[in-house]
């Protein structure tokens, strides 16, 4: 994949406010936060989207996300938060290096705004689709 701003942060070429680092993961404050404490958690492996990520990096992210979330909550004073993970420009991804947003949600509304427009799952379609997904996971 082409280099990104997060690659430059990982190589120390541009600064960041680092909150956590291990062999596979780096976490730092978002430079344009939606709310106080908005943190980005990234794998050191440079792939664009989550579906391309190797199991070891994925496991490392999963292991530390709850711990980082607890620290962000404690430091920001928020009680609630969203985890956002965008994949592809059509899904609002601007930086093409996998990243998880941890976004504190405050009682006054600061944080992630969500426009949720649910459909209704048809039973037959659901069965077909679940089988198609499960078949690719087998
Ligand atoms: P995306 O829309 O790709 O999911 O989010 C990318 C995030 O990266 C945005 O929230 C944006 O504010 C953040 N960001 C972009 N450039 C920089 C940077 O140079 N430093 C930091 N800390 N965050 C950045």
pTM confidence score:
0.97
Q: Which of 38, 96, 99, 101 is catalytic?
A: 99
Closest of 72, 87, 90, 91 to residue 33, by C-alpha: 72
Which protein residue has the closest C-alpha to ligand 1 atom 19?
5
Instruction: Please give the pLDDT value at position 9.
Output: 98
99 is catalytic: yes
Report the separation in Å between the CA atom of 65 and the middle of ligand 1, taken as the mean of its atom positions.
18
Q: Between the CA atoms of 48, 82, 72 and 46, what dihedral angle is there, to the nearest 10 degrees?
A: 0
Q: Which tens digit of pLDDT belongs to each residue from 38-82?
A: 999 999 999 999 999 999 999 999 999 999 999 999 999 999 999
Instruction: Please give the pLDDT value at position 58.
Output: 98
Q: Which tens digit of pLDDT belongs to each residue from 91-104?
A: 999 999 999 999 99
Decide: 83 in ligand 1 pocket, CB within 6 A: no
Q: How far apart are CA 134 and CA 69, in angstroms?
A: 30
Decide: 30 in ligand 1 pocket, CB within 6 A: yes
Domains and CATH numbers, the chain: 5-137 (3.30.428.10)
Instruction: Please give the pLDDT value at position 2.
Output: 64
Decide: 19 in ligand 1 pocket, CB within 6 A: no
Structure tokens at 36: 């106080």
Average pLDDT over residues 18-25: 98
Average pLDDT over residues 11-34: 98
Instruction: Please give the pLDDT value at position 1.
Output: 54
Decide: 93 in ligand 1 pocket, CB within 6 A: yes
Please state, for a pLDDT cut of 70, what percent of the chain lies above it: 99
| Residues in Cβ contact with 122 at an 8 Å cutoff, skipping those fewer than 6 apart | none
Q: Is the pLDDT of residue 83 over 80?
A: yes
Q: How many CB atoms lie within 10 A of CB 112?
A: 15
């Amino acid at each position: 994949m082409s280099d990104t701003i997060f690659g430059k942060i990982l190589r120390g070429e541009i600064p960041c406010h680092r909150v956590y680092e291990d062999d596979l993961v780096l976490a730092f404050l978002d430079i344009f936060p939606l709310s106080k404490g908005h943190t980005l958690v990234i794998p050191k492996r440079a792939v664009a989207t989550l579906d391309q990520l190797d199991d070891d990096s994925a496991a490392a992210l999963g292991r530390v996300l709850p711990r980082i979330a607890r620290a962000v909550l404690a430091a920001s004073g928020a009680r609630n938060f969203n985890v956002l993970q965008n994949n592809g420009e059509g899904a609002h991804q601007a930086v093409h290096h996998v990243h998880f947003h941890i976004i504190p949600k405050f009682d006054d509304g600061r944080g992630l705004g969500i426009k949720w427009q649910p459909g209704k799952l048809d039973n037959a379609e659901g069965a077909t689709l679940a089988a198609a997904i499960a078949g690719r996971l087998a």
